[in-house]
Structure 1
Amino acid sequence: MNRFRTFSAGLLGFLGIAAATYGAHRLSTSPLLPYSLETWKTAVLYQFIHVLALLSLGRYSKGFAVPSLCFLFGILLFSGSLYAWVLSGNAGWTRLTPFGGSLLGIGWLGIAGEALFRRRAPEP
């Protein structure tokens, strides 16, 4: 088990619950931006999908370092930039969103690559 991956997934999962709760209780009645609740929901959804992927990679003590880092930084950039945009109203934050989305996609390709090219340990 990889403790860093599992810790990161747990922390980001907790933050995802906090973000979902905030969005449900505060943004639903907020006059911030007309699209803020939908944008917030998208950020939360992508965060949780990739937290689960990161958690599943935590089972492995070796390998999957690149996909794990891509998921970690992808969540921070993709979801984080959308959260910052909604909270601040500054659309400049959305410049980071495509980089985060790209990292999330690269993470999935990294999993595919690990599955194809990773050496198996000899069977006992």
Structure 2
Amino acid sequence: MTLADPNGSRMLVFAGGLVGAAGVALSATAAHRGGAFTGTAASFLLMHAPVFLAVGLVGANRFLRIASFALLAGLLLFAGDLLARDFLGSRLFPMSAPIGGTLLIAGWLGIAISALTRPRP
């Protein structure tokens, strides 16, 4: 298997590791440098990292993997916007946090709905 495996499992494990590491680093940054947005971004990263690890390691159904990638995209936009506010003094781009938040909600709903789908033989 490579990072480009057809079902994306390794990519999700990879993303979980990076998201977790970024969350820890940003937690330390927020503690030493301050910045409410940085602390919030760190919390979001740390709370979502186990999701990517779990989905990647379980080798879940396609619907769950798609929902996980929507969650990852939302997390990157939402946390990215918060970090841009603290470190750059401006937004990532207009509506990036609301779009990211909407993707986060959609990803979580997709994860919930995936539990109702029938597994393929």
Contact between 1:78 and 1:98, CA under 8 Å: does it hold in 2? yes
Match of 1:42 in 2: 40
Distance 1:66 1:99 in 2: 17
Match of 2:26 in 1: 19
Distance 1:75 1:17 in 2: 15
Residue 5 in structure 1 maps to residue 12 in structure 2: yes
Aligned residue pairs, count: 112
Identity of aligned residues (%): 36
Deviates more, 1:105-114 or 1:38-47: 38-47
What TM-score do you get using the length of structure 2 for normalisation?
0.81
Deviates more, 1:41-50 or 1:88-97: 88-97
Match of 2:80 in 1: 80
Provide Cα deviations, 1:18-54, integer angstroms capped at 9, x if missing partner.
Answer: 1111111122xxxxxxxxx222221111111111222
Match of 2:106 in 1: 106
Highest CA radius of gyration, 1 or 2?
1
Specify every segment of 5 or more residues in structure 1 that has no aligned partner in the other structure, as ranges.
28-36
Specify every segment of 5 or more residues in structure 2 that has no aligned partner in the other structure, as ranges.
1-7
Amino acid at match of 2:117: F
Deviates more, 1:92-101 or 1:102-111: 92-101
Amino acid at match of 1:114: S
